[in-house]
């Protein structure tokens, strides 16, 4: 029977997927994160759950120097993507050849869940980053079934979700010849409970119906990470400032991450997936032509298999090889640090959302003033003027 250590369990769900007796269920407990719950009278002690857990296992990582910047030719695709539209290239390549794509989407209540599609329209639901942990449910089982039937599968997720799948397929003795895995440089996954409260905040406790959400709204060139919310009455909200928006404020200050994120062994140069995707916000003289303010992707092709897809990128947009060392990001070197007020924040959260916001400093007068100023700057487009002045220097 698996021993659950909340400080290392990533909530990938591999143990629940592999259990032959369906004795393990992934349930939302601490901070809304998923953890395995075992029904002991169903357990036969086969040990498969322990054997499939990647958290404490030695995991093979690929350290490749094959790094690129990519910009999709389609402006529309990039506007609807987190960065340069790289994922859509891979997804479309699989769909066009009759394959399947696995990724994270918004559910009906804007919680995050993993799903599988084999058509271009639905696969668009996987575009753009979701900074809340997804429910993988039985997606590992479904991926296994597809691969066993000879289907081609593109699986995308956090590094730990990819690792969970690879370990699961290994224990099931399943060939991964037709599998391509994609992860991203991960800061950590946000609390589903906190995100649910943020939605309540933006809906004014249900008084305003939310019909669409995008963590990576792009209201105009140069604004690449603005929370976007659309309401049933047609009104739209773009957060004026990423750092001062209520969800991002706590996400970027590391208050709302899963415990295991602070010990993440995948925050390394070596990658667990075939391809790693990330944003690119840094440009040199030789790459600045790839920055038009609508988004540029940073790609690391980690395996020989991944290099077979270079031609797909060449046909879909501009791709340029770069020196990987020049584009190293913090979470390629170490895990995100836990804030000193983490425990106090969540203890206060038990008394309500507003109570926790006081601990984090979000609701203090200084930050309230900053948000008002940011709103004025955004409305008058002064942020764009400042960027143009800096670019001209």
Residue-wise pLDDT tens digits, 43-67: 999 999 999 999 988 899 999 999 9
Q: Which residues pair with 155 in a beta bridge?
A: 102, 181
Q: Quick one: pLDDT at residue 218?
A: 84
The answer to the question of residue 102 being in a domain is yes
Nearest 10 degrees: Cα torsion 350, 355, 358, 360: 20
Number of domains comprising the chain: 1
In a domain, 369, yes or no: no
- pLDDT at residue 390 tops 60: no
Lowest mean pLDDT among 90-94, 222-226, 339-343, 350-354: 222-226
Per residue in 195-207, pLDDT (tens digit) is: 999 999 999 988 9
Mean pLDDT computed over 265-271: 98
When pLDDT is cut at 50, 70 and 90, the band that residue 371 belongs to is confident
Question: How many percent of the chain have pLDDT more than 90?
Answer: 84
Q: Is 26 exposed, middle or buried (0-12, 13-18, 19+ CB in 10 A)?
A: buried
* Beta bridge partner(s), residue 70: 297, 319
247: which residues sit within 8 A by CB, 6+ positions away?
131, 190, 194, 195, 198, 227
- Domain annotation covers residue 29: no
Q: Is residue 366 part of a domain?
A: no
pLDDT of residue 393: 47
State the DSSP H helix or E strand holding residue 161, giving kind and residue range, or none if neither. Answer: helix 159-171
State the pLDDT at residue 389: 44
Q: What is the pLDDT of residues 107-155, one digit of tens each?
A: 999 999 999 999 999 999 999 999 999 999 999 999 999 999 999 999 9
| Residue recorded with tokens 């900053």 | 370
Burial classification of residue 281, based on how many CB atoms lie within 10 Å of its CB (0-12 exposed, 13-18 middle, 19 or more buried): middle
What does the pLDDT average to over 226-245?
Answer: 92
pLDDT category of residue 387 using cuts at 50, 70 and 90: low
What is the residue-averaged pLDDT of the chain?
A: 94
Return the DSSP state at 70. E
Confidence of residue 385 (pLDDT cuts 50, 70, 90): very low
Q: Is the pLDDT of residue 386 over 60?
A: no
Does some domain include residue 226?
Answer: yes
Query: Residue 391: pLDDT above 80?
Result: no
Average pLDDT on 340-359 reads: 97
pLDDT at 356: 97
- Position 342 pLDDT exceeds 50: yes
Instruction: Give pLDDT, residue 259.
Output: 97
In a domain, 20, yes or no: no
Residue 276: which domain range?
Answer: 58-359
Tell me the mean pLDDT in the region 282-306: 96
CB 130 within 8 A of CB 189: no
From the number of C-beta atoms within 10 Å of its C-beta (0-12, 13-18, 19+), residue 228 rates as: middle
In this prediction, residue 206 carries a pLDDT of 86
Q: Which residue has the tokens 């599968």?
A: 153
Q: Quick one: pLDDT band at residue 382, thresholds 50, 70, 90?
A: low
Residue 22 lies in a domain: no
Poorest-pLDDT segment among 32-36, 55-59, 178-182, 212-216: 55-59
Give the pLDDT confidence score for residue 146 in this predicted structure: 99
Report the pLDDT averaged over residues 317-344.
Answer: 98
pLDDT reading at 282 higher than 60: yes
> Residue 193: pLDDT above 70?
yes
**pLDDT tens for residues 61-91?**
999 999 999 999 999 999 999 999 999 999 9
Residue 37 lies in a domain: no
């Amino acid at each position: 029977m698996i021993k659950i250590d909340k400080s290392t369990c990533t909530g990938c769900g591999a143990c629940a997927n592999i259990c032959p007796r369906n004795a393990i269920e992934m349930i939302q407990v601490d901070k809304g994160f998923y953890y395995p719950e075992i029904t002991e009278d169903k357990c036969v002690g086969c040990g498969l759950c322990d054997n499939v857990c990647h958290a404490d296992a030695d995991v093979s990582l690929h350290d490749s120097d094959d790094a690129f910047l990519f910009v999709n030719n389609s402006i529309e695709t990039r506007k609807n993507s987190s960065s340069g539209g790289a994922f859509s290239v891979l997804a479309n390549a699989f769909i066009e050849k009759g394959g399947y794509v696995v990724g994270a989407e918004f559910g009906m209540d804007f919680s995050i869940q993993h799903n599988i599609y084999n058509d271009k329209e639905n696969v668009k639901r996987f575009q753009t980053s979701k900074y809340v942990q997804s429910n993988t449910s039985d997606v590992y089982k479904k991926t296994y079934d597809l691969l066993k039937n000879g289907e081609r599968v593109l699986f995308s997720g956090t590094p730990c979700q990819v690792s969970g799948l690879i370990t699961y397929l290994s224990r099931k003795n399943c060939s991964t010849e037709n599998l391509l895995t994609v992860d991203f440089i991960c800061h950590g996954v946000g609390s589903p409970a906190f995100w649910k409260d943020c939605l309540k905040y933006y809906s004014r406790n249900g008084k305003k119906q939310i019909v669409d959400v995008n963590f990576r709204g792009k209201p105009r060139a140069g604004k690449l990470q603005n929370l976007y919310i659309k309401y049933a009455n047609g009104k739209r909200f773009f957060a004026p400032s990423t750092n001062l928006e209520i969800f991002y404020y706590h996400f970027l200050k590391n208050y709302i991450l899963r415990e295991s994120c602070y010990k993440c062994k995948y925050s390394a140069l070596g990658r667990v997936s075939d391809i790693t995707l990330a944003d690119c916000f840094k440009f040199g003289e030789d790459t600045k032509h790839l920055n038009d303010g609508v988004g540029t992707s940073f790609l690391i092709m980690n395996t020989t298999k991944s290099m077979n897809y270079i031609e797909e990128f060449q046909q879909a947009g501009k791709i340029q090889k770069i020196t990987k060392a020049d584009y190293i990001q913090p979470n390629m070197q170490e895990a995100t640090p836990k804030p000193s007020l983490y425990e106090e924040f969540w203890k206060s959260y038990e008394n309500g959302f507003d109570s926790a916001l006081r601990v984090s400093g979000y609701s203090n007068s200084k930050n309230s003033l900053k948000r008002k100023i940011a709103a004025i700057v955004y409305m008058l487009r002064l942020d764009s003027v400042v960027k143009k002045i800096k670019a001209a220097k």
